[in-house]
Amino acid sequence: MDNGETTPMLTVDDVLKLNPLLPSTSMLPPMATDQLGHDSHLGSDIDWISLLSGSFELGDQNPSPSKARYGENVGTKKKKGGRTKKATPARIAFHTRSADDILDDGYRWRKYGQKAVKNSTHQRSYYRCTQHTCNVKKQIQRLSKDSSIVVTTYEGIHNHPSEKVMESLSPLLRQLQFLSRI
DNA sequence: CGGTTTTGACCCGCGC
DNA sequence: GCGCGGGTCAAAACCG
């Protein structure tokens, strides 16, 4: 919450440029775009996006297999006395206006937790990408004041395309392969 | 029957 | 050192 920090504001286009694996606005759920009457310049349901932190490093997610438990934590974290940067993965927050908590962003998510946060009447849900090779996480919570607003925070970058993207892209890819053979 | 959600317990960092 | 707040685990329930 707060957000009083110096978080640079980005447009959707900026974020997409940074992260080509994110779903483009064109594949946002039509339902969401429909029920969003007002005219955001993109016509999507995204109110704003903010880059919370981040070193965008593709393909460098925590290689931690399944053995990474809490104590050992992710990546490299040993001492804290110094200025260990903690290698914070990229974090992006979306404010969306939707009646549905989960917006279909093309990826499949598995819920792994839910917690009540202080100063909020609603709970926060924690999701993880179902792809084993990809440990992108996201958390979702509604604003306590305006429960029609859903805050979705992505952490990390997918190291694989979503099934939906591939599905819509496969005809194109096939054609590309065919043409390249000529 | 396999994958997902639910839910309480557990763990960890941080402030006091 | 302790307690609180927040993030995660994991087992059982749930669902197609």
Burial class (CB in 10 A: 0-12, 13-18, 19+), A136: buried
Tokens 């009540």 map to which residue? Answer: A116
| Distance in Å, residue A54 CA to nucleotide C2 C1' | 33
Q: For every one of its 182 residues, what pLDDT tens digit does chain A have, with 9 covering 90 and above?
A: 444 333 444 444 444 444 444 444 433 333 333 333 333 333 345 556 655 544 333 333 333 333 334 444 343 333 333 333 455 667 788 777 777 767 778 889 999 999 998 888 889 999 999 988 888 899 998 887 777 888 888 888 887 877 777 777 878 888 898 888 87
Whether A67 sits with its Cβ under 7 A from any strand C atom: the answer reads: no
Number of alpha carbons in the 13 Å side-chain half-sphere of residue A3:
14
Whether A68 sits with its Cβ under 7 A from any strand C atom: the answer reads: yes
In one-letter notation, the amino acid at residue A10 is: L
Query: What does the alpha-carbon distance between residue A35 and residue A46 come to, in Å, rounded to a whole number?
Result: 12
Q: What is the pTM of this model?
A: 0.66
Query: Looking at the DSSP assignment, which residues form a beta bridge with residue A155?
Result: A91, A137
Domains, chain A, ranges and CATH? Answer: 89-181 (2.20.25.80)
pLDDT tens-place string over residues A34-85:
333 333 333 345 556 655 544 333 333 333 333 334 444 343 333 333 333 4
Cα separations (Å) of A93 from A61, A141, A142, A152, A153? 19, 11, 12, 6, 4
Q: How many beta carbons lie within 10 A of that of residue A152, not counting itself? A: 22
**Residue whose CA is minimally distant from C4 C1':** A118
